[in-house]
Structure 1
Amino acid sequence: MLNHSLKTAKEWSPAALGGGGYITGLLQHPAESGVLYARCDVAGVFRSLDGGLSWETLNSGLTQSYHHQVQSFAISSHHPEVMFRCSGEVRSRRFYGAVHKSADGGKSWKEVCTGMGFYGNGPTRMYGEVIAVDPYHPEIVAAGGYTGGLWISRDEGETWQQTLLPEERFGCVVFHPAIPDVLFAGTISDDDLNMDYVETGEGGVLGLLQDLPRGKQRRLYTSPDLGESWQLLYEGASFAELGFDSRDPQRLMAACIWGGICSSRDGGRTWESAGAGLLPGGHRYGTVVQDTHNPQRWYTAPDVRPHMKDIPPIPIYYSGDGGEEWQLLRKHLDEDLSGFPAYMDSFNGGSRAAATGWAISKLIVDRLNKDRLYLCNWYGVAFSEDGGNTWRAGHFRGLETTCMEAVAAAPGQPGKFCVTMADHSPKVTEDGGVTFRNLPGLAGYSGSTAVAVSRTNTEHYLYGLVGHGRTACIALSRDGGQTAEAVLTLGKGLFVQSLREDGIRSGTFYAYIDGEISSGAGVYRSADGGQTWSLTSFCLPAHVSTLPHLKNWIEAELLSVVVYQVKNACGADQLMAADPFRAGHVLAGEWSEGIWHSADGGDTWESIGAGLPFQHRGTASILNAVAYSATRSGTLYAGFISEGLWSSTDDGQHWSKLFPADAAEQFNVSALAVGKGDGGKDLLILASEPMVRTKTESKVVCSRDGGITWEIWVDDYLGAVRWKGVALDCDSRQVLAVTCGNGAYRTEISRK
């Protein structure tokens, strides 16, 4: 079969759903007050040109998914167009990491060092920067890894050399701003990272995150000669961030995680608590900053979470006497806040202020505007123009907490799509992604996994919701999204993998539920528009007890964004399909075990997976999507991680590989869309997310003729995005694609 590919420039336009995750760090341009940079645990680096009102991604040139998991970044005060970022993750207890450099203000990046491992979504992500540019020597750059020790570059980041420091877990690396050639490096112990986590199993949170023990060292090192030699300065605290008093070069302030805020008057040799007036009891501290306009004034904020009681809504504290005594900046009310998305209210007991104060990772004072402050946290970046009394967020335009799960097109309504995502109920667009509105969430549920829109009733939505404690339900809205109710409440550990309406019988829906089979996982059917459900006879081989069969490996190692986030953007809503030509014909796929077909609405099933590359070349070859042809009855598609796209023209009796043509080439079918193409053939769009395990690139390809020829859509500025879903509208013209962390993108299909 002829199957050649042609690279085609394809411009994706950002949809109204921006990217983001936990915003863990914030930098301001050395000379331009309104230019800010934010780092994210899963989505890379963002830039704002308007003081935090709107944001854009800066990920061009990245090739690996972990390059978007940024633990630290830095900007040169000598050459502000020069920037650095440190990124990495862990899989199967192996750490990956890279330092990238930009010479054009973040517009493009190149890899300059791979000697250190970083953990962009790890337990130190919210602390200080571990890469720094010397304020006196532009060619000197230092970086400390989560693994791999501390490295120095002496040619502005082009080449790197490891120093003699032990390979501990670094929490902050910083040059002294007032004493030339002096460099500090603080480390973090296992105990301080595990301290506030309970019920995480053997090894605490570090065991959960696949992080090996790295010791109990809580140390501060210093070098008087730009990293040539080192001495142990202090032992006894985990250093997350250092601040330097501009009035006295020997006075330092430090955020010491569970050690609170500490001060030193002798250059870091001895330390004492400086926490008078801060919250009583044990709290994590990761940021402390001096007001450059008023050196007597310092700011800090404990890292609080929703379950903590009796905490001020926005726990920002200030000291007006140089860090001796602290007091709450203000007990903020919701009316002190503007420009924050409404979903923040429901996540935190109805309090927007509590959400704004949740997990504050960084505070900075505008270096050119004495009344302007910034904070970043779980949701994004907010700013204050009156010294912290009131806060604005700009609705986090371009920078939302949106790790998207899937996207589905609405039948019969051009330009209408529904998007599901972690931590949010579904969102609906009726203009191809230009604007979105929310479908209602339900109490106790905070995320969504799958969605279906009725073919005959445009006001009818079914969607899967997930909640805390690994609970889930199917929600039904019959009034266009004004209200919703739970119509199938699932037991603990069960999740809605996919929802589909029968291709011919209006009002008949199917639900793929994964989890423990003994607890009710399987395929369900509703014949009354989703109001009531019953389990079909879908039955897997006796050795399969969970869906997925290789559940922990597939969800936690391969498809998840980070290793410990089970059921967070791990390929939902693609393993079931309904035939558009024949009533009752349904496909259900299992990641590693096969595909099953029912011709009678789920009453009976037959296996049709023979000949497909399940677990070929290792377990990374798993099924991730199934679909029916939009133009030919009996033609099926099966998309695999690693092994690409396969097709059958006889209802699954025989299969052949459709893409890539080269049998040795790997391609992850992370997302699959099928529509009507040229000459009565299928229009196929495949999106591939990069994975460490398969060493594949981020790529989107399109065929207008059923897979005979292919276009590779090239758009380098997106970087190594993790595509999670792609959908064609009912006219096969508008395309909406969603990613984990980097937002949604839209484009159109031009007809030849």
Structure 2
Amino acid sequence: MDGISSGTGQVWSPASLGGGGYITGLIQHPAQSGVLYARCDVAGVFASLDGGFTWEARNGGLTKAYHHQVQSFAISPHRPEVLFRCSGEVRSRTFYGSVHKSADGGHTWREVCTGMGFYGNGPTRMYGEVISVDPHHPEVVAAGGYTGGLWISRDEGETWKQTPLPEERYGCVAFHPGIPGMLYAGTIGDNDLNMDYAETGEGGVLGLLQDLPRGKAGRLYASSDLGDTWMLLHTGPSFAELAFDSRDPQRLQAACIWNGIRSSTDGGRTWQTGMTGLPEEGQRYGTVVQDSHHPQRWYTAPDARPHMTAVPPVPLYGSGLSGSVSGEWQLLRQHNDEDLSGFPAYMDHFGSGSRAAAAGWAISKIIVDRFIEDRFYLANWYGVAVSPDGGRTWCAGHFRGLETTCMEAVVAASHQPGKFCVTMADHPPKVTEDGGRSFWNLPGISGYSGSTAAVISRSDPSRYLYGLVGHGRTACIALHRDGGANASAVLPLGAGLFVQALREDGVKNGIFYAYVDGPVASGAGIYRSSDDGMTWEQTAFRPPSYVDTLPHHKNRIEAELLSVVVYQVKNACGANQMLAASPFHQGRVLVGEWTEGIWESHDGGDTWKSIGEGLPFQRSGSASVLNAIAYSPNYPDLIYAGFISEGLWRSSDGGRTWSKLYPLIEGEIFNVSALAVGTVDEGEDLLILASEPMVVNGTDSQAVYSMDGGCKWQGWQQSGIGAVRWKGIALDCEDIQGLGVSCGNGAFYMRLADKI
């Protein structure tokens, strides 16, 4: 970019609060027991070198957000440093997808195929692998898309060719380990999609997923010549995972989602139900695995969710166990908390009183260590857990480096260097007092499972106010003080409301403001507390009369632009960046509406005036949406406004006139998804901008900064950390340490070396 130079001395390093989401798949290195790889629906691929106890992201070289939404991956049994990943998403009913290849154990990746669409955060994300390397032919790789059909590579993934198979929704693709040249491909029918999606809104499953009908039934295809010709073996159940019996090449087991576990004795032509001893009614089955040390033993687990009270806490079942009846499944153990170690306390955020009740939620994959007898691994909603004793006890290692952390926002303490508070979609806030090297938890409140915005009191650094979201789309402002073990809800909010931002008055301690979005008629707007957050009242701010929800264009902004997954609402959408308080004037407050304007109050919210004239709201042909506003800490009338697509704008006269500050090249796009403003030694504004990658405008992930108020800009080199979905950046009180947070990719810290 013109005007951009490479930064020197400033490096973003992974904080101890790692990224992650639903861990949807797990594979083991074919020659090293302690090396494992995990795939995630929003955060890419992770590697563990110590048998699953600590993890690090392996996403170098990625550029698009959907490259982190991994539906499948594979490791070459011939050259284990070679890995493949299939990633993609859907926006505006268009599927995107890429196959990437790594030749260095996942440290760096390059795109090798774009012929298939994948749905890494979609309804089939927790099922079998749809990419596979032939165990008999090192150069042959096969992959089946959510769209685009099934493709074959005959040069180790360098080039690809589509096969004649129909463009169905592939759920598993597998080469037979015992029959050279034999390849299976199973599909998933419309009737067997994840019904959880249907519960999130109107329009039915396919409507919510922006999907099209692809056949009500599942099918199983087979090729005996490495994909040149195909035969249809079976129609009926959907095939989520295939497993091959090492004792007999004609015997197969399959996880068939709502149709349970099925077995075949004739190579997949006919199938019999094998559910004796398993919970049957209303359960999905997506994984089945053979024990290589005891081949008569098989393991599976239903995809249990919190409301399934009749399902055991960790629903792991085995068949062929000692003393069992042939063909019957037995529960391995009725687990309790004493059987679990290294599971974080936040796993009880649904108030069950037991971490065991959450440890087995949404198990996506079970694998048996091929080198160590009775050593098991499971992947689920929270991370990866390890069992050294055949599934009787489990250790999670506190999911170090691999957590369900779609972070919403970050704020800094006003008087303590290196202290930040981070909010996230699935957990209460976390606090670091050493710049991101370690974190501790703020308490949640029963009935609420995630946090959205936060502020740390200037006068009392042990006093925190933060937004929480709960079940049934409820929310509240929570207060935690004096280092106690509990928090209290000081402003409960009704269904559909959401605490988007919290700020303390820039001059007067103890006065706080809250931006609540949602239906205006239900109370969305700006709130004020004059007693340290204990009580709240709504201010006089009202959006234009035609605006009935905040954001006004809610579905387009949250589903198409800012949400990490297409069907979710209120997940990292402008969180904590659309409200600002002037550091020079008591009661001077800014509020932004994504598409309609900016308003300012000079009296703490009693009166408001519009100051957004001249800004690129609703600019024709672009996704021009306001996403961040801020006052200058050095100039009383200087205001910044950051837009998706249209970059950073500045007003030097209190909002009467505006001019574009970055980027200045005609036609260049930059998404200001995170904005931080500080001070350099000369009294100029220090500006940090981060852009999350978006499909809608074809942008890549970037982070830039200026040490002179926006005259000159430098860019951080971030190819090693991939396509980070930046959501917030904060500078500490000395403007030297910074903490950036992302939706799924973890937190990152840096020090501005030029200021030290």
- For the aligned pair, the TM-score class normalised by the smaller chain equals over 0.9
1:521 aligns with 2:524: yes
Is residue 307 of structure 2 the alignment partner of residue 307 of structure 1?
yes
For residues 363 and 276 of structure 2, the distance between their equivalents in structure 1, rounded to whole angstroms, comes to: 20
Q: Which amino acid aligns with 1:622?
A: V
* Structure 1 residue aligned with 2:352: 349
Question: Which residue in the other structure is 2:398 paired with?
Answer: 395
Structure 2 counterpart of 1:262: 262
Deviation of residue 696 (structure 1)?
Answer: 1.1
Aligned partners of 2:491, 2:399: CA distance in 1, in Å? 34
Is 1:739 aligned with 2:748?
no
**1:444-483 matches, cutoff 5 A:** 444-480=447-483, 482-483=485-486
Cα distance change, pair 12–481 in 1 and its aligned pair in 2 (3 A): farther
Tell me, in whole angstroms, the C-alpha distance in 2 between the residues paired with 1:216 and 1:481: 54
1:202, distance to aligned residue in structure 2 (A): 4.8
- Does 1:493 find its partner at 2:492? no
- 2: CA distance, partners of 1:350 / 1:405: 26
1:85 aligned partner: 85
Q: Which runs of 5+ in 2 are unaligned?
A: none
Distance in 1 between the 2:176 and 2:640 partners? 60
Quick one: which amino acid aligns to residue 97 of structure 2?
Answer: G
Q: Deviations over 1:448-487 (max 9, x none)?
A: 1110111111121111100011000011122135332111
Partner SS state of residue 679, structure 1 = coil
Report whether the alignment pairs 1:542 with 2:536.
no
Among candidates 407, 420, 423, match of residue 420 of structure 1: 423
Give the whole-Å Cα distance in 1 for the aligned partners of 2:176 and 2:268. 11
The one-letter code matched in structure 2 to 1:475 is A
1:405 to 404, 408, 429: 408
Contact 1:410 1:453 in 2 (8 A): yes
How far off its partner does 1:194 sit?
Answer: 5.5
Distance 2:490 2:615 in 1: 36
SS in structure 2 opposite 1:26?
strand
SS state at 2:558 partner: helix
Matched, 1:379 2:378: no
**Residue 299 of structure 1 aligns to which amino acid in structure 2?**
Y
The equivalent residue for 2:212 is 212
More moved, 588-597 vs 269-278: 269-278
Contact residue 350 and residue 447 of structure 2 kept, 8 A: no
Amino acid in structure 2 at the alignment position of 1:5: I
Which aligned pairs between 1:692-707 and structure 2 lie closer than 5 A?
Answer: 692-707=695-710
Q: Is this contact kept in 1: 2:251–2:264, CA < 8 A?
A: yes
Look up the equivalent residue of 1:272 and give its one-letter code. Answer: Q
Q: Secondary structure at the match of 1:407?
A: strand
User: Once the 2 structures are TM-superposed, how far is the Cα of residue 529 of structure 1 from its aligned partner?
Assistant: 0.9
- 2:682 partner SS: helix
Summarize the Cα distance change of 1:148–1:737 in structure 2 as closer, same or farther, 3 Å threshold: same
Moved more, 332-341 or 481-490: 481-490
Q: Which amino acid aligns with 1:85?
A: R
CA distance in 1, matches of 2:194, 2:103: 38
Partner of 1:658: 661
SS, match of residue 650 in structure 2: strand
- Residue 148 of structure 1: how far off its partner (Å): 0.6
Counterpart of 1:19, as a letter, is G
Q: Which residue of 2 aligns with 1:605?
A: 608
User: What is residue 614 of structure 1 aligned with on the other side?
Assistant: 617
Q: Are the aligned partners of 1:194 and 1:204 in contact in 2 as well (CA < 8 Å)?
A: no
* Residue in structure 2 matched with residue 187 of structure 1 by the alignment: 187
In structure 2, how many angstroms separate the alpha carbons of the residues matched to 1:539 and 1:697?
36
Matching residue of 1:594: 597
Answer whether contact 2:260 2:284 (CA < 8 A) is retained. Answer: yes
Contact 1:348 1:354 in 2 (8 A): no
State the distance in 1 between where 2:463 and 2:371 align: 52
Offset, 1:208:
1.3
**3-state secondary structure, aligned to 2:508:** coil
TM-align CA RMSD: 1.4
Tell me the residue number matched to 1:363.
366
1:282 Cα offset (Å): 3.2
Contact 2:623 2:645 in 1 (8 A): yes
CA distance in 2, matches of 1:552, 1:65: 19
Of the three residues 568, 576, 580, the one matched with 1:577 is: 580
So what's the TM-score if we normalise by structure 1?
A: 0.98
CA drift of 1:201 comes to 4.8
**Which residue in the other structure is 1:139 paired with?**
139
Task: Tell me by how many angstroms 1:215 deviates.
Answer: 1.6
Q: 1:81, 1:199 → 2: CA distance? A: 41
CA contact (8 A) 1:673 1:726 kept: yes
Q: Who is 1:729 aligned against?
A: 732
Residue identity opposite 1:185 in structure 2 = A
Q: Distance in 1 between matches of 2:289 and 2:218?
A: 21
Deviations 1:679-738 (A, max 9, x none): 210011001100001111111101111111111011211100100000000100010000
Q: Distance in 2 between matches of 1:268 and 1:552?
A: 44
Supply the AA of the counterpart residue of 1:122.
G
Match of residue 154 from structure 1: 154
Contact 2:71 2:120 in 1 (8 A): yes
Q: Which runs of 5+ in 1 are unaligned?
A: none
- Whether the aligned pair in 1 keeps the contact of 2:41 and 2:71 (CA below 8 Å) is yes
Q: Is the 8 A contact 1:465 1:496 kept in 2?
A: yes
Residue identity opposite 2:295 in structure 1: P
Q: Report the Cα distance in structure 2 between the residues aligned to 1:222 and 1:202, rounded to whole angstroms.
A: 37
Choose 480-489 or 604-613, whichever is displaced more: 480-489
Q: Distance in 2 between matches of 1:40 and 1:457?
A: 39
The total of aligned residue pairs comes to 751
Distance 2:534 2:351 in 1: 30
Percent same amino acid among aligned pairs?
72
Distance 2:45 2:425 in 1: 20
Q: Which residue matches 1:20? A: 20
Contact kept in structure 1, 2:499 and 2:515, CA below 8 Å: yes
* Amino acid across the alignment from 1:422: A
**Equivalent pair of 1:201/1:207 in contact (CA under 8 Å):** no
Q: Give the deviation of 1:347 after TM superposition.
A: 2.9
